[in-house]
Structure 1
Amino acid sequence: MTRNRTLLWLLVPGGLSAQPIITTDNMPILGDVVPIGICSDPIDTVALNASAGAMMTWDFSGLTEQTEEQFLFVDPVGSLWENDFPTSSLCGISWDGSHAYYTTTSGMLEQDGLCTIVPGPPPEDTAKVLLTTDSESLMSLPLAFGDTHSDVFSGTFEAGGFIGAVDGTIDLVADGHGTLVLPNGTFSNVLRYRFDRVQNNTVLGTTTSTSKVQWGWVSEDHRYWLLLMEVDFNGFNPIELVWYSKVPPLVSGTGLADRSMETLTVWPNPVPAGGSLRLAGTGVPDRARLLLADATGRVVRTWSGPGTQFSLEGLVAGNYMLTVLDARGTRRSTSRIVVQ
C-alpha cells in the first residue's frame, strides 16, 4: 500500500524548470554493470540533515575509497532464486552475493524481495525475504524536489531453518537538488532523497525490529545512484555504508535491453565445461577487456584483448554474464553464457 503527497514549495526560489525530475529512465536496466567505490568515511548525520534544500552543492570530493566493488543487473530468469520471484523484471546482484528482485513500472520502483547466501549447510545456507503479500514500493516515479512517498510492506522471511513473518514501513522525502561533487567528477541536475525504513521480523511469537536511514543522490542524466549513504540499526550497533558510482551509466547509454546498435556473437553457447568461447562482431572493440561473472555476481574471469578466443577451463556448469568493455572502460556488450 502506497501513500504519496507533495510538500508545499514555499522555500523554493525561482527557476522551477531547472529542477531535476527522476523517472524510470534513471532506474537500472538489464545488463547494467556499475562499479562502485566503498568508502571508509564516517557519516555526519547532522551535516546531512542540515544540507537539504534547493540549488545545493554537496562536496564529497574527499571521500576515501576503501575497496572497489560492483552491482550487476541481470534477468531474474536464470538467477539463483528465479522460482521465488516469477513476476520480477530485474535482479540486482551486489558484491556480497545478495540478490534483490525488482519490478519497475512507469510509476513505481518495487522491491519484491531479497535473498543471500549465508554460512551453513543446505537448505540453511540461504536467507530470504519474500514480499509476496505486499511488495515494498521504494520510490514513486516521477520524483521531484519536495515530493514524498510512504509505503507499507509485508511478507515472509526464511533464515537458519526458521520461517517467520515480516512487515514494515518506508517514508521518503526528496529533500534537496543541486550539484554533487565526487572523487570522479562533478554532476549537475542531481536530486537527493532521504528515507527512513523500519522492518519487523516475527518468529515463534517474538518480534524484533531493525531500522535504516538512507540518503541517496540521483542524477537526471544518469541511471542508478551517484552516491549512497546509510545507517542501519540492527538492535545492537549502527552499521554505516558509504559508496559512490565510479562509472555511472548515462541515460542515453545502453544496457543489455537496448543494444540494437551493437552486435556481439558468442559461440558456442551453451559451451561445454572446459571449452573456449569465441567472439565476433562490432561489440568486440580493439584492446577489449572482458569480465565474466557467475550467478552471484562475482567476477570469476577477466581477459584483456586483443583476442577472440577465451578459455573457460576450471569453471563449473551454470549461468554466467559476459561483459565487454572498450579501452576507456565503457561497456559495449553484455551476454548471458551457459556452461554445461
Structure 2
Amino acid sequence: MKKIYFLAISIMAFQTMNAQITLTAANNNPSVGNSFTMNYYDANTVTPGSSGANITWNFASLTPQSTLTGTMVNPSTLSDGSNHPASNIAAEDASTGNQSYIFVDGDEYSMVGAFSPGTFRDTYTDIREFVKFPITYGNSFNETFSGTSNNIAASQTYDRGGTVAITADGYGDLVLPYGTITNVLRVKTITLYSDGQGGVPFINYEDTSYFWFNASTKYTIMSWTILNMGGFSTVKTGMYLDQSSVITSLGDDFIPNNPITIYPNPVSNNQTTILLDKLYENTQLQVIDITGKVVKIENVAATSKNITLNLDGLNKGIYFVQILHNNALVSSEKLILN
C-alpha cells in the first residue's frame, strides 16, 4: 500500500550558500497532463540526513531497483473516480492500475483517497494533508484527517483517523546519482493514525517521511519514509526523480555529474536536448560520426545550458557529441540515432 501513497506525493556551479526557497501552490501543485518517472531505491541503505540551513544531502550512491511512471489525470476518467468526489486531480500508474485521488488548491496538496484493484480502497472524508502552501524553511502545520480503509480481498472495512505534523526542516543541495540539484527544501511529515472498528482501534501507525522539493517542480524530487505498523513491523521506502524528468523540469537548478547530458538518447525523432553543466562562452558543439568526420557544428550561446540539437539529414547510427570551450575539449558523449 505504501507505493500508492508515493505515487500521490511524487507528483509534487556548487554554491557555498543557498537561498531559502518557498513552495507555492502555483509552482508546485500538479496539473492534468503532467507525467513523471521515479526510481525506487533501498531505503535501508541510507538515512534522511540532518535538518537545518545550507545542508548538503548526499545520496550519490543510490542504486535504482525499479521504476514508477505516473500521469496526472482527471479523476472522472478513472475506474474508481466516483468513490472520491472531493478529488480534483488524480495520479495513475498505468503499469499497476494503482490510483491516488488528490485535492489541490491555493492552500494545500492533500490526499482524498487511494485505490489498488482487488486489494484496497482508502477514502477520506476529512482529507489527509501532505503539503500546505506557502511553505518555507521553519514553517510548521498541524492537521487531522479521518475516513475509511477497505480491504477488498477480505471484504473488511476499518475506520481510520489521525494527525499529521508538517515541518519544513531544512534547505540546501541534494546530490543524486546523476547530479546535484541546488536550492531544495526538505519537508518532514509525522503522521500518527489508527485503524479500528466501532470506535475501538486495533492497530496504530507511525509514518515519518522526508520529501525534497525545489521551487518549480510539480512533484517531489526525492522521498524517504519509515512506517511503523503497531510495533509488529517496520518498513522503509524511498524514491527519487528519474534523470529524464530532471532534465525536462529543473533547468538551472540541476548540475549533472558529467559536463554534458543527452536526453533523449537514443534519439528517434531527429531531435534531442544537450544539457550543459554550466554556462560556457566561446563554445562549440560538434557531432562526429564513427569515422571521425565532423558532420554538424553549432555555436553555443552563453545564455543557456539547454541546447536543442536537430539531427535532420543524418543517417541512423552511432555519433559522438563534443563540447569545445576555447577550442579545448570539455566532454564527449555517445549519441545513438535510431
TM range, smaller chain: 0.5 to 0.7
Secondary structure of the structure 2 residue equivalent to 1:77: helix
1:176 to 1:231, Cα distance in 2 relative to 1, 3 A: same
Is residue 43–residue 236 contact of structure 2 (8 Å, CA) maintained in 1? no
Identify the match of residue 152 of structure 1 among 127, 141, 144. Answer: 144
User: Does the 8 Å CA contact 1:98/1:115 hold for their aligned counterparts?
Assistant: yes
2:33 paired residue among 14, 31, 34: 31
1:204 CA drift (Å): 5.1
**Inter-partner Cα distance in structure 1 for 2:239 and 2:46:** 14
CA distance in 1, matches of 2:132, 2:102: 14
Task: Give the letter aligned to residue 55 of structure 2.
Answer: M
Q: Which whole-Å deviations, capped at 9, do the CAs of 1:305-334 have from their partners, x for residues lacking one?
A: xxxxxxxxxxxxxxxxxxxxx999xxxxxx
| CA-to-aligned-CA distance 1:186-231 (integer Å, 9 cap, x gap) | 1112000111112211125642212211011001132211100001
Q: Which residue of 2 aligns with 1:310?
A: none
Q: What CA distance in whole angstroms lies between the structure 2 residues aligned with 1:327 and 1:232?
A: 45
- Looking at structure 1, the residues matched to 96 and 42 of structure 2 have their Cα atoms a distance apart, in angstroms, of 17
1:115 aligned to 2:115? yes
Q: What displacement does 1:164 show?
A: 2.5
Aligned twin of 1:175: 169
* Structure 1 residues 234-249: aligned runs within 5 Å: 234-235=229-230, 236-246=232-242, 247-248=245-246
Distance across 2 between alignment mates of 1:104 and 1:114: 15
| Cα distance between partner residues in 1 of 2:174 and 2:98 | 28
Equivalent residue number for residue 216 of structure 2: 221
Contact 2:140 2:167 in 1 (8 A): yes
| Pairwise CA distance, 1:109 | 1.1
Task: Report the Cα distance in structure 2 between the residues aligned to 1:108 and 1:41, rounded to whole angstroms.
Answer: 27
Q: Alignment partner of 1:42: what SS?
A: helix
Aligned-CA RMSD value = 2.6
Asked if the contact 2:29–2:218 (Cα under 8 Å) also holds between the matched residues in 1, the reply is yes
Task: Quote the offset at 1:63 in angstroms.
Answer: 0.6
Q: For 1:121-200, what aligned pairs fall within 5 Å after superposition? A: 125-132=118-125, 134-159=126-151, 160-200=154-194
5+ long unaligned stretches in structure 2: 1-16, 252-267, 272-307, 311-338
Q: Give structure 1 regions of 4+ aligned residues with deviation exceeding 2 angstroms.
A: 93-98, 203-206, 248-252, 285-288
Find the counterpart in structure 1 of residue 291 from structure 2.
Answer: none
Partner of 2:313: none
Contact 2:100 2:114 in 1 (8 A): yes
Query: Partner amino acid for 2:249?
Result: L
Q: 1:201 aligns with which of 182, 188, 195?
A: 195
Which residue of 1 is the match for residue 281 of structure 2?
none
TM normalised by structure 2 equals: 0.63
> TM-score, with normalisation over the residues of structure 1?
0.63
Which residue in the other structure is 2:254 paired with?
A: none
Deviations 1:22-55 (A, max 9, x none): 111112221122111111252544xx35x11111
Equivalent pairs, count: 234
Partner AA of 2:221 in structure 1: L
